[in-house]
Chains A and B, each alone.
Chain A
Amino acid sequence: MTRSLRIATAALLACAGAAHAQDANLGRNLAATCANCHGTNGQARGDTVTALAGMPAERLITTFNAYKNGALPATIMHQIAKGYTDDQLKAIAAFFAAQPAKK
Protein backbone atom coordinates (compact mmCIF):
# COMPACT_ATOMS: atom_id res chain seq x y z
CA MET A 1 0.00 0.00 0.00
CA THR A 2 1.46 3.37 -1.01
CA ARG A 3 1.75 6.14 1.48
CA SER A 4 -0.93 8.27 -0.23
CA LEU A 5 -3.33 5.35 -0.38
CA ARG A 6 -2.72 4.72 3.29
CA ILE A 7 -3.55 8.34 4.09
CA ALA A 8 -6.62 8.21 1.87
CA THR A 9 -7.77 5.02 3.61
CA ALA A 10 -7.26 6.59 7.01
CA ALA A 11 -9.21 9.66 5.94
CA LEU A 12 -12.01 7.48 4.58
CA LEU A 13 -12.18 5.54 7.84
CA ALA A 14 -12.32 8.80 9.78
CA CYS A 15 -15.21 9.99 7.60
CA ALA A 16 -16.98 6.68 7.99
CA GLY A 17 -16.64 7.11 11.74
CA ALA A 18 -18.20 10.56 11.56
CA ALA A 19 -21.00 9.41 9.27
CA HIS A 20 -21.86 6.64 11.69
CA ALA A 21 -21.87 8.78 14.80
CA GLN A 22 -24.98 6.90 15.87
CA ASP A 23 -23.05 3.64 15.83
CA ALA A 24 -20.49 5.24 18.11
CA ASN A 25 -23.22 5.41 20.73
CA LEU A 26 -24.27 1.79 20.23
CA GLY A 27 -21.88 0.37 22.84
CA ARG A 28 -22.66 3.21 25.23
CA ASN A 29 -26.41 2.65 24.94
CA LEU A 30 -26.17 -1.13 25.31
CA ALA A 31 -23.72 -0.94 28.21
CA ALA A 32 -26.13 1.39 30.00
CA THR A 33 -28.54 -1.56 30.33
CA CYS A 34 -25.97 -3.19 32.67
CA ALA A 35 -25.59 -0.16 34.97
CA ASN A 36 -28.51 -0.97 37.28
CA CYS A 37 -26.49 -3.83 38.80
CA HIS A 38 -22.93 -3.13 37.63
CA GLY A 39 -22.79 0.63 38.18
CA THR A 40 -22.86 3.66 35.92
CA ASN A 41 -20.32 3.12 33.12
CA GLY A 42 -19.39 -0.14 34.84
CA GLN A 43 -18.12 1.60 37.98
CA ALA A 44 -19.93 -0.67 40.44
CA ARG A 45 -20.73 0.46 43.96
CA GLY A 46 -19.83 -1.99 46.71
CA ASP A 47 -17.90 -5.24 46.33
CA THR A 48 -20.72 -7.67 45.61
CA VAL A 49 -20.77 -7.50 41.79
CA THR A 50 -17.96 -7.27 39.28
CA ALA A 51 -16.97 -3.76 38.21
CA LEU A 52 -16.87 -3.94 34.42
CA ALA A 53 -15.08 -0.62 33.81
CA GLY A 54 -11.63 -1.15 32.37
CA MET A 55 -12.06 -4.89 31.91
CA PRO A 56 -10.25 -6.09 28.76
CA ALA A 57 -12.84 -6.73 26.03
CA GLU A 58 -11.66 -10.29 25.40
CA ARG A 59 -12.09 -11.23 29.05
CA LEU A 60 -15.59 -9.78 29.23
CA ILE A 61 -16.65 -11.58 26.04
CA THR A 62 -15.21 -14.90 27.21
CA THR A 63 -16.89 -14.64 30.62
CA PHE A 64 -20.21 -13.52 29.15
CA ASN A 65 -20.21 -16.42 26.67
CA ALA A 66 -19.38 -18.85 29.47
CA TYR A 67 -22.52 -17.67 31.24
CA LYS A 68 -24.45 -17.90 27.97
CA ASN A 69 -23.48 -21.51 27.23
CA GLY A 70 -23.74 -22.62 30.84
CA ALA A 71 -20.02 -23.30 31.36
CA LEU A 72 -19.96 -20.79 34.21
CA PRO A 73 -22.63 -21.28 36.88
CA ALA A 74 -24.62 -18.21 37.90
CA THR A 75 -27.72 -17.11 39.76
CA ILE A 76 -28.92 -14.74 37.04
CA MET A 77 -26.26 -13.93 34.42
CA HIS A 78 -26.89 -17.12 32.42
CA GLN A 79 -30.47 -15.90 31.86
CA ILE A 80 -29.50 -12.31 30.99
CA ALA A 81 -26.60 -13.31 28.72
CA LYS A 82 -28.98 -15.16 26.40
CA GLY A 83 -30.79 -11.90 25.64
CA TYR A 84 -27.90 -10.22 23.83
CA THR A 85 -26.46 -10.99 20.38
CA ASP A 86 -22.75 -11.56 19.73
CA ASP A 87 -22.46 -8.18 17.99
CA GLN A 88 -24.14 -6.44 20.90
CA LEU A 89 -21.80 -8.18 23.32
CA LYS A 90 -18.78 -6.98 21.33
CA ALA A 91 -20.03 -3.39 21.44
CA ILE A 92 -20.65 -3.64 25.19
CA ALA A 93 -17.21 -5.14 25.82
CA ALA A 94 -15.48 -2.43 23.77
CA PHE A 95 -17.31 0.28 25.70
CA PHE A 96 -16.41 -1.09 29.14
CA ALA A 97 -12.79 -1.74 28.12
CA ALA A 98 -12.45 1.97 27.30
CA GLN A 99 -13.79 3.14 30.68
CA PRO A 100 -11.41 4.13 33.48
CA ALA A 101 -11.26 1.35 36.07
CA LYS A 102 -13.05 1.86 39.36
CA LYS A 103 -10.93 3.77 41.87
Chain B
Amino acid sequence: MQKHHTLSRRRLLGVGLAASVAAPLFGCATGAGGPSIGRVVVIGGGFGGATAARYLRMWGNVDVTLVERNDTFISCPISNMVLGGHKSMADITVPYGGLAALGVKRIQGDAVAIDAQGKKVRLADGRELPYDRLVVSPGIDFMFDQVVGLDAAAQQKVLHAWKAGPQTVALRRQLEAMRDGGVYALTVPKAPYRCPPGPYERAAMVASYFKQHKPRSKVLLLDANPEIQSKKALFEKVYAEQYKGIIEYRPNNELKAVDAATNTAKLEFDDVKADVLNVVPPHRGADIARSAGLLNMNARWIGVNWLSMESTAVPGIHALGDAVLSAPAMPKSGHMANQHAKVAAAAIIQLLKGEPVNPAPVVMNTCYSFVTAADVIHVASVHQYDNADKTFKAVPGSGGVSSAPSEMEGRYALSWAQNIWSDMLAS
Protein backbone atom coordinates (compact mmCIF):
# COMPACT_ATOMS: atom_id res chain seq x y z
CA MET B 1 0.00 0.00 0.00
CA GLN B 2 2.73 2.40 1.06
CA LYS B 3 4.82 1.49 -1.96
CA HIS B 4 1.89 2.10 -4.26
CA HIS B 5 1.40 5.58 -2.74
CA THR B 6 5.06 6.43 -3.26
CA LEU B 7 4.81 5.47 -6.90
CA SER B 8 1.65 7.50 -7.43
CA ARG B 9 3.25 10.45 -5.76
CA ARG B 10 6.27 10.26 -8.01
CA ARG B 11 4.00 10.20 -11.00
CA LEU B 12 2.13 13.20 -9.65
CA LEU B 13 5.37 15.08 -9.13
CA GLY B 14 6.29 14.35 -12.72
CA VAL B 15 3.05 15.90 -13.86
CA GLY B 16 3.71 18.87 -11.57
CA LEU B 17 7.07 19.47 -13.20
CA ALA B 18 5.51 19.42 -16.67
CA ALA B 19 2.84 21.84 -15.47
CA SER B 20 5.43 24.25 -14.11
CA VAL B 21 7.23 24.38 -17.47
CA ALA B 22 3.91 25.13 -19.13
CA ALA B 23 2.84 27.57 -16.41
CA PRO B 24 3.70 30.83 -18.24
CA LEU B 25 1.14 29.90 -20.89
CA PHE B 26 -1.58 29.98 -18.25
CA GLY B 27 -1.23 33.21 -16.33
CA CYS B 28 -3.89 32.33 -13.81
CA ALA B 29 -2.61 28.84 -13.03
CA THR B 30 -2.40 28.12 -9.31
CA GLY B 31 -1.31 25.18 -7.22
CA ALA B 32 1.87 23.13 -7.18
CA GLY B 33 4.71 23.40 -9.67
CA GLY B 34 7.61 25.81 -10.14
CA PRO B 35 9.60 27.47 -7.38
CA SER B 36 7.64 27.93 -4.17
CA ILE B 37 6.41 31.41 -3.24
CA GLY B 38 7.47 30.94 0.38
CA ARG B 39 7.93 28.69 3.37
CA VAL B 40 5.09 28.28 5.83
CA VAL B 41 5.31 26.20 9.00
CA VAL B 42 2.00 25.12 10.52
CA ILE B 43 1.91 24.17 14.21
CA GLY B 44 -0.98 21.84 14.98
CA GLY B 45 -2.71 19.29 12.74
CA GLY B 46 -6.27 19.68 13.97
CA PHE B 47 -9.25 21.20 12.18
CA GLY B 48 -7.46 24.53 11.76
CA GLY B 49 -3.86 23.54 11.04
CA ALA B 50 -4.53 20.60 8.74
CA THR B 51 -6.98 22.69 6.69
CA ALA B 52 -4.44 25.52 6.42
CA ALA B 53 -1.74 23.09 5.25
CA ARG B 54 -4.05 21.57 2.66
CA TYR B 55 -5.35 24.88 1.28
CA LEU B 56 -1.91 26.52 1.18
CA ARG B 57 -0.82 23.65 -1.10
CA MET B 58 -4.02 23.65 -3.13
CA TRP B 59 -4.29 27.40 -3.66
CA GLY B 60 -0.65 28.38 -3.98
CA ASN B 61 2.72 26.84 -4.53
CA VAL B 62 3.70 27.17 -0.90
CA ASP B 63 6.38 25.08 0.81
CA VAL B 64 4.38 23.76 3.78
CA THR B 65 5.66 21.91 6.85
CA LEU B 66 3.07 20.67 9.33
CA VAL B 67 4.18 19.97 12.90
CA GLU B 68 1.82 17.69 14.83
CA ARG B 69 2.56 15.59 17.90
CA ASN B 70 0.09 12.78 17.13
CA ASP B 71 0.58 10.25 14.35
CA THR B 72 -3.09 10.25 13.32
CA PHE B 73 -5.93 12.73 13.56
CA ILE B 74 -8.64 11.92 16.12
CA SER B 75 -11.80 14.00 15.86
CA CYS B 76 -13.47 15.67 18.83
CA PRO B 77 -16.72 15.97 16.86
CA ILE B 78 -18.42 12.54 16.92
CA SER B 79 -16.26 11.52 19.94
CA ASN B 80 -19.27 11.83 22.28
CA MET B 81 -20.79 9.01 20.19
CA VAL B 82 -17.84 6.86 21.29
CA LEU B 83 -18.65 7.68 24.93
CA GLY B 84 -22.24 6.65 24.25
CA GLY B 85 -21.05 3.35 22.77
CA HIS B 86 -22.46 4.14 19.34
CA LYS B 87 -19.15 4.66 17.49
CA SER B 88 -15.62 3.29 17.85
CA MET B 89 -12.30 5.12 18.03
CA ALA B 90 -11.55 3.80 14.53
CA ASP B 91 -14.64 5.69 13.29
CA ILE B 92 -13.19 9.04 14.43
CA THR B 93 -9.56 8.41 13.45
CA VAL B 94 -8.20 9.64 10.11
CA PRO B 95 -4.60 9.25 8.84
CA TYR B 96 -2.44 12.16 7.70
CA GLY B 97 -1.32 10.40 4.50
CA GLY B 98 -3.51 12.46 2.19
CA LEU B 99 -1.65 15.65 3.09
CA ALA B 100 1.71 14.05 2.32
CA ALA B 101 0.44 13.12 -1.14
CA LEU B 102 -0.30 16.83 -1.71
CA GLY B 103 3.30 17.71 -0.82
CA VAL B 104 2.79 18.77 2.79
CA LYS B 105 5.89 17.84 4.78
CA ARG B 106 4.66 16.44 8.07
CA ILE B 107 6.85 16.25 11.12
CA GLN B 108 5.57 14.28 14.09
CA GLY B 109 6.88 16.21 17.04
CA ASP B 110 6.36 18.99 19.55
CA ALA B 111 6.95 22.65 18.75
CA VAL B 112 8.39 24.07 21.97
CA ALA B 113 9.52 27.59 21.03
CA ILE B 114 8.94 30.25 18.41
CA ASP B 115 11.66 32.74 17.51
CA ALA B 116 9.56 35.45 15.86
CA GLN B 117 12.61 37.68 15.22
CA GLY B 118 14.67 34.93 13.60
CA LYS B 119 11.52 33.43 12.03
CA LYS B 120 12.03 29.87 13.12
CA VAL B 121 10.29 27.21 15.19
CA ARG B 122 12.22 24.97 17.56
CA LEU B 123 11.06 21.40 18.12
CA ALA B 124 11.50 19.33 21.29
CA ASP B 125 14.19 17.26 19.58
CA GLY B 126 16.21 20.43 18.89
CA ARG B 127 15.43 20.75 15.21
CA GLU B 128 14.79 24.28 13.92
CA LEU B 129 12.32 25.05 11.14
CA PRO B 130 12.74 28.38 9.36
CA TYR B 131 9.62 30.08 7.99
CA ASP B 132 8.49 33.12 6.02
CA ARG B 133 5.10 32.99 7.70
CA LEU B 134 3.95 30.84 10.61
CA VAL B 135 0.52 29.37 11.26
CA VAL B 136 -0.27 28.52 14.88
CA SER B 137 -3.34 26.34 15.37
CA PRO B 138 -2.48 24.93 18.77
CA GLY B 139 -5.88 24.21 20.27
CA ILE B 140 -6.36 24.58 23.99
CA ASP B 141 -4.64 23.66 27.22
CA PHE B 142 -6.43 23.39 30.54
CA MET B 143 -6.11 25.75 33.50
CA PHE B 144 -5.94 22.92 36.04
CA ASP B 145 -4.86 25.35 38.74
CA GLN B 146 -8.39 26.84 38.67
CA VAL B 147 -9.72 23.64 40.25
CA VAL B 148 -8.25 22.97 43.69
CA GLY B 149 -7.12 19.38 44.03
CA LEU B 150 -6.96 18.66 40.31
CA ASP B 151 -3.23 17.93 40.39
CA ALA B 152 -1.34 15.56 38.10
CA ALA B 153 -2.31 12.49 40.13
CA ALA B 154 -5.99 13.49 40.29
CA GLN B 155 -6.00 14.08 36.53
CA GLN B 156 -5.30 10.36 36.04
CA LYS B 157 -8.67 9.58 37.58
CA VAL B 158 -10.81 12.68 37.07
CA LEU B 159 -10.76 12.92 33.27
CA HIS B 160 -11.72 15.75 30.91
CA ALA B 161 -11.91 13.80 27.62
CA TRP B 162 -12.17 17.25 26.03
CA LYS B 163 -9.39 16.35 23.59
CA ALA B 164 -10.37 13.23 21.70
CA GLY B 165 -7.88 10.39 22.14
CA PRO B 166 -6.71 8.25 25.06
CA GLN B 167 -9.00 10.12 27.49
CA THR B 168 -12.02 9.29 25.33
CA VAL B 169 -11.15 5.60 25.63
CA ALA B 170 -10.45 5.88 29.37
CA LEU B 171 -13.71 7.72 30.14
CA ARG B 172 -15.69 5.16 28.15
CA ARG B 173 -14.05 2.42 30.26
CA GLN B 174 -15.04 4.24 33.47
CA LEU B 175 -18.63 4.41 32.24
CA GLU B 176 -18.62 0.73 31.31
CA ALA B 177 -17.20 -0.22 34.72
CA MET B 178 -19.71 1.91 36.63
CA ARG B 179 -22.43 0.07 38.58
CA ASP B 180 -26.05 0.39 37.55
CA GLY B 181 -27.55 2.99 39.85
CA GLY B 182 -24.37 5.05 39.82
CA VAL B 183 -23.95 8.77 39.13
CA TYR B 184 -21.96 10.25 36.27
CA ALA B 185 -21.25 13.95 36.92
CA LEU B 186 -19.99 16.29 34.19
CA THR B 187 -18.83 19.80 35.04
CA VAL B 188 -19.00 22.58 32.43
CA PRO B 189 -16.68 25.61 32.70
CA LYS B 190 -17.82 29.19 32.22
CA ALA B 191 -18.01 30.27 28.57
CA PRO B 192 -16.03 30.70 26.42
CA TYR B 193 -14.90 27.11 26.10
CA ARG B 194 -14.27 24.67 23.24
CA CYS B 195 -17.45 23.39 21.55
CA PRO B 196 -20.41 25.21 23.20
CA PRO B 197 -22.97 22.39 22.63
CA GLY B 198 -20.44 19.65 23.45
CA PRO B 199 -21.21 19.15 27.17
CA TYR B 200 -24.95 18.96 26.52
CA GLU B 201 -24.44 16.45 23.72
CA ARG B 202 -22.17 14.41 26.02
CA ALA B 203 -24.83 14.32 28.73
CA ALA B 204 -27.33 13.01 26.17
CA MET B 205 -24.89 10.41 24.83
CA VAL B 206 -24.03 9.05 28.27
CA ALA B 207 -27.73 9.08 29.15
CA SER B 208 -28.54 7.11 25.99
CA TYR B 209 -26.05 4.48 27.15
CA PHE B 210 -27.49 4.40 30.68
CA LYS B 211 -31.07 4.24 29.41
CA GLN B 212 -30.28 1.07 27.50
CA HIS B 213 -27.71 -0.62 29.73
CA LYS B 214 -27.83 0.92 33.23
CA PRO B 215 -31.34 2.32 33.59
CA ARG B 216 -31.09 3.13 37.31
CA SER B 217 -28.08 5.42 36.73
CA LYS B 218 -28.04 9.20 36.59
CA VAL B 219 -26.30 11.94 34.62
CA LEU B 220 -25.66 15.07 36.65
CA LEU B 221 -24.79 18.10 34.55
CA LEU B 222 -23.10 20.74 36.72
CA ASP B 223 -22.90 23.93 34.68
CA ALA B 224 -20.93 27.00 35.77
CA ASN B 225 -23.09 28.98 33.34
CA PRO B 226 -26.58 30.28 34.12
CA GLU B 227 -28.14 28.25 31.29
CA ILE B 228 -27.47 25.74 28.52
CA GLN B 229 -25.05 27.52 26.17
CA SER B 230 -26.23 26.23 22.79
CA LYS B 231 -29.47 24.82 21.31
CA LYS B 232 -30.99 25.38 24.76
CA ALA B 233 -34.67 24.72 24.04
CA LEU B 234 -33.85 21.63 22.00
CA PHE B 235 -31.62 20.09 24.66
CA GLU B 236 -34.15 20.89 27.39
CA LYS B 237 -36.88 19.14 25.41
CA VAL B 238 -34.68 16.09 24.77
CA TYR B 239 -33.70 15.86 28.44
CA ALA B 240 -37.34 16.09 29.53
CA GLU B 241 -38.74 13.69 26.94
CA GLN B 242 -35.99 11.17 26.21
CA TYR B 243 -34.02 11.17 29.44
CA LYS B 244 -36.57 12.03 32.13
CA GLY B 245 -35.26 10.82 35.48
CA ILE B 246 -31.80 10.21 34.01
CA ILE B 247 -30.38 13.67 33.28
CA GLU B 248 -30.48 16.34 35.96
CA TYR B 249 -29.33 19.80 34.87
CA ARG B 250 -28.01 22.25 37.47
CA PRO B 251 -27.12 25.77 36.25
CA ASN B 252 -24.91 28.22 38.18
CA ASN B 253 -22.86 25.40 39.65
CA GLU B 254 -19.25 26.39 39.27
CA LEU B 255 -16.70 23.79 40.23
CA LYS B 256 -14.24 25.05 42.85
CA ALA B 257 -12.36 21.90 43.86
CA VAL B 258 -12.29 18.14 43.53
CA ASP B 259 -11.45 15.30 45.86
CA ALA B 260 -10.25 12.66 43.45
CA ALA B 261 -10.07 9.93 46.13
CA THR B 262 -13.84 10.09 46.66
CA ASN B 263 -14.83 11.45 43.21
CA THR B 264 -16.30 14.50 44.87
CA ALA B 265 -16.99 17.75 43.04
CA LYS B 266 -16.89 20.71 45.41
CA LEU B 267 -19.21 23.44 44.19
CA GLU B 268 -19.91 26.85 45.62
CA PHE B 269 -22.77 25.74 47.86
CA ASP B 270 -22.54 21.99 48.12
CA ASP B 271 -20.50 18.88 47.40
CA VAL B 272 -21.52 16.22 44.91
CA LYS B 273 -20.16 12.70 45.09
CA ALA B 274 -20.12 10.81 41.82
CA ASP B 275 -19.21 7.32 40.66
CA VAL B 276 -17.63 8.77 37.52
CA LEU B 277 -16.51 12.39 37.74
CA ASN B 278 -15.78 14.10 34.41
CA VAL B 279 -14.35 17.61 34.79
CA VAL B 280 -13.88 19.97 31.87
CA PRO B 281 -11.63 22.64 33.43
CA PRO B 282 -11.52 26.21 32.12
CA HIS B 283 -9.09 26.48 29.22
CA ARG B 284 -6.94 28.91 27.24
CA GLY B 285 -4.87 28.94 24.07
CA ALA B 286 -2.32 26.13 24.26
CA ASP B 287 1.16 26.37 25.81
CA ILE B 288 3.07 27.13 22.61
CA ALA B 289 0.86 30.19 22.06
CA ARG B 290 1.50 31.36 25.61
CA SER B 291 5.27 30.92 25.46
CA ALA B 292 5.35 32.78 22.14
CA GLY B 293 3.56 35.76 23.70
CA LEU B 294 0.45 35.30 21.56
CA LEU B 295 -2.13 35.20 24.38
CA ASN B 296 -2.69 38.95 24.45
CA MET B 297 -6.42 38.75 25.25
CA ASN B 298 -7.02 38.30 29.02
CA ALA B 299 -3.85 36.16 29.01
CA ARG B 300 -6.09 33.40 27.66
CA TRP B 301 -6.72 33.88 23.95
CA ILE B 302 -4.97 35.08 20.79
CA GLY B 303 -6.09 38.39 19.30
CA VAL B 304 -6.09 38.41 15.48
CA ASN B 305 -6.62 40.69 12.53
CA TRP B 306 -9.67 38.96 11.03
CA LEU B 307 -8.72 39.81 7.42
CA SER B 308 -5.59 37.68 7.61
CA MET B 309 -5.84 35.86 10.96
CA GLU B 310 -2.46 37.45 11.77
CA SER B 311 -1.72 37.85 15.48
CA THR B 312 -2.15 41.37 16.84
CA ALA B 313 0.71 40.63 19.26
CA VAL B 314 3.41 39.12 17.04
CA PRO B 315 3.75 39.93 13.32
CA GLY B 316 4.21 37.11 10.80
CA ILE B 317 2.26 34.63 12.91
CA HIS B 318 -1.27 33.64 11.88
CA ALA B 319 -3.49 32.00 14.50
CA LEU B 320 -6.50 29.74 14.03
CA GLY B 321 -9.17 27.86 15.88
CA ASP B 322 -10.15 27.52 19.51
CA ALA B 323 -7.08 29.43 20.78
CA VAL B 324 -8.25 32.62 19.06
CA LEU B 325 -10.40 35.19 20.89
CA SER B 326 -13.67 34.59 19.07
CA ALA B 327 -15.55 37.33 17.26
CA PRO B 328 -19.08 38.06 18.61
CA ALA B 329 -21.39 35.00 18.33
CA MET B 330 -18.58 32.96 16.78
CA PRO B 331 -18.26 29.52 18.41
CA LYS B 332 -15.05 27.67 19.21
CA SER B 333 -15.69 24.74 16.90
CA GLY B 334 -13.76 22.50 14.53
CA HIS B 335 -15.92 23.78 11.71
CA MET B 336 -15.01 27.38 12.53
CA ALA B 337 -11.30 26.49 12.81
CA ASN B 338 -11.50 25.07 9.28
CA GLN B 339 -13.07 28.34 8.11
CA HIS B 340 -10.40 30.41 9.89
CA ALA B 341 -7.81 28.33 8.06
CA LYS B 342 -9.21 29.20 4.63
CA VAL B 343 -9.19 32.93 5.41
CA ALA B 344 -5.59 32.56 6.60
CA ALA B 345 -4.45 30.44 3.63
CA ALA B 346 -5.88 32.91 1.11
CA ALA B 347 -4.31 35.86 2.95
CA ILE B 348 -0.89 34.22 3.42
CA ILE B 349 -0.64 33.46 -0.30
CA GLN B 350 -1.50 37.09 -1.11
CA LEU B 351 1.03 38.39 1.44
CA LEU B 352 3.79 36.08 0.15
CA LYS B 353 3.09 37.43 -3.34
CA GLY B 354 3.03 41.01 -2.07
CA GLU B 355 -0.61 41.45 -3.05
CA PRO B 356 -3.56 42.80 -1.04
CA VAL B 357 -5.63 40.38 1.03
CA ASN B 358 -9.34 39.75 0.49
CA PRO B 359 -11.09 42.78 2.07
CA ALA B 360 -14.42 40.99 2.58
CA PRO B 361 -13.99 37.43 3.89
CA VAL B 362 -16.94 35.29 4.99
CA VAL B 363 -16.97 32.38 7.43
CA MET B 364 -19.81 30.12 8.49
CA ASN B 365 -20.45 27.51 11.13
CA THR B 366 -22.46 24.33 11.44
CA CYS B 367 -22.45 22.24 14.62
CA TYR B 368 -24.41 19.02 14.72
CA SER B 369 -25.14 17.36 18.09
CA PHE B 370 -26.33 13.81 18.57
CA VAL B 371 -29.10 13.54 21.15
CA THR B 372 -29.77 9.80 20.63
CA ALA B 373 -27.77 7.21 18.69
CA ALA B 374 -29.54 8.38 15.53
CA ASP B 375 -31.21 11.76 16.11
CA VAL B 376 -29.37 15.04 15.67
CA ILE B 377 -29.91 18.76 16.15
CA HIS B 378 -27.89 21.60 14.61
CA VAL B 379 -26.92 25.22 15.08
CA ALA B 380 -25.70 27.23 12.09
CA SER B 381 -24.48 30.78 11.50
CA VAL B 382 -22.91 32.92 8.76
CA HIS B 383 -20.42 35.67 9.63
CA GLN B 384 -19.47 38.52 7.27
CA TYR B 385 -16.50 40.80 7.86
CA ASP B 386 -17.55 44.24 9.09
CA ASN B 387 -15.14 46.87 7.86
CA ALA B 388 -16.24 49.54 10.34
CA ASP B 389 -15.74 47.39 13.43
CA LYS B 390 -12.97 45.24 11.93
CA THR B 391 -14.49 41.99 13.07
CA PHE B 392 -16.77 39.22 11.83
CA LYS B 393 -20.45 39.69 12.57
CA ALA B 394 -23.26 37.15 12.32
CA VAL B 395 -25.61 38.16 9.51
CA PRO B 396 -28.96 39.26 11.02
CA GLY B 397 -31.77 36.90 10.02
CA SER B 398 -29.39 34.11 9.01
CA GLY B 399 -28.53 30.96 10.90
CA GLY B 400 -30.57 29.17 13.53
CA VAL B 401 -31.24 25.79 15.04
CA SER B 402 -33.20 22.66 14.10
CA SER B 403 -36.96 22.66 14.49
CA ALA B 404 -36.67 19.23 16.17
CA PRO B 405 -34.23 16.32 16.43
CA SER B 406 -34.31 14.07 13.37
CA GLU B 407 -32.69 11.02 11.85
CA MET B 408 -32.27 12.96 8.62
CA GLU B 409 -29.96 15.38 10.43
CA GLY B 410 -28.24 12.34 11.90
CA ARG B 411 -27.31 11.34 8.36
CA TYR B 412 -26.25 14.93 7.58
CA ALA B 413 -24.07 15.00 10.70
CA LEU B 414 -22.14 11.88 9.67
CA SER B 415 -21.88 13.21 6.12
CA TRP B 416 -20.55 16.50 7.53
CA ALA B 417 -17.88 14.58 9.44
CA GLN B 418 -16.85 12.62 6.37
CA ASN B 419 -16.65 15.78 4.25
CA ILE B 420 -14.82 18.02 6.72
CA TRP B 421 -12.27 15.30 7.54
CA SER B 422 -11.70 14.89 3.82
CA ASP B 423 -11.52 18.67 3.32
CA MET B 424 -8.83 19.11 5.98
CA LEU B 425 -6.83 15.92 5.48
CA ALA B 426 -7.29 15.30 1.74
CA SER B 427 -8.32 11.80 2.80
Contacts and interface: CB of A to CB of B under 8 A. Distances in A.
Given A22-B350, A37-B419, A79 B398 contact: yes
Interface majority SS (helix, strand, loop, mixed), chain A: helix
A15 B364 CA distance: 33
Given A39-B423, A83-B381, A29 B415 contact: no
Interface in B177-222: none
Contact of B415 (A48, A79, A84): A48
Nearest to B350: A22
B409 interface: yes
B393 to A, nearest CB: 11
Contacts of B399: 79-80, 82-83
Given A37-B366, A76-B380, A80-B364, A29 B358 contact: yes
A36 B366 contact: yes
Interface in B217-245: none
Interface stretch (B119-127, B250-258, B334-342): B334-342
Interface string B391-418: 0000101111010001011011011101
A18 B355 CA distance: 12
Contacts of B58: 40
A78 to B, nearest CB: 8
B55 interface: yes
Interface string A29-50: 1101101111110001110110
B24 interface: no
A33 B380 CA distance: 13
Given A29-B358, A80-B382, A37 B416 contact: yes
A25 B346 contact: yes
B358 A48 contact: no
A40 B380 CA distance: 19
B261 interface: no
A49 B398 CA distance: 21
B419 A79 contact: no
Nearest to A68: B398
A29 B308 CA distance: 13
B156 interface: no
Nearest to A35: B423
A60 B80 CA distance: 35
Contact of A75 (B27, B342, B343, B402): B402
B408 A80 contact: no
A49 B423 contact: no
A57 B252 CA distance: 50
B6 interface: no
B382 A22 contact: no
B398 A48 contact: no
A97 to B, nearest CB: 16
A11 interface: no
A25 B55 CA distance: 13
Contacts of B412: 37, 48-49, 75-76
Interface string A3-25: 00000000000000010011011
Given A33-B342, A36-B338, A88-B362, A45 B422 contact: yes
Interface in B2-27: 27
A39 B343 CA distance: 17
B146 interface: no
B275 to A, nearest CB: 37
Contact of A32 (B342, B402, B409, B415): B342
Given A33-B362, A82-B382, A83-B384, A39 B55 contact: no
A42 to B, nearest CB: 11
A79 B355 contact: no
Contacts of A79: 380, 398-400
Contacts of A81: 398
Contacts of A18: 27
Contacts of B338: 36
B299 to A, nearest CB: 31
Contact of A36 (B397, B423, B426): B423
A72 interface: no
B415 A49 contact: yes
Given A18-B27, A79-B399, A82-B382, A46 B366 contact: no
B419 A84 contact: no
Nearest to A14: B27
Nearest to A26: B358
Nearest to A75: B409
Please indicate which of the listed interface residues A28, A79, A82, A84 has the most CB atoms of chain B within 10 Å of its own CB: A79
9 contacts: A26-B358, A33-B342, A33-B363, A37-B420, A39-B419, A44-B415, A76-B409, A80-B399, A84-B362
| Interface pairs A-B: 10 shortest CB-CB | A83-B382, A83-B398, A48-B415, A82-B398, A79-B400, A83-B395, A36-B420, A32-B342, A35-B423, A40-B423
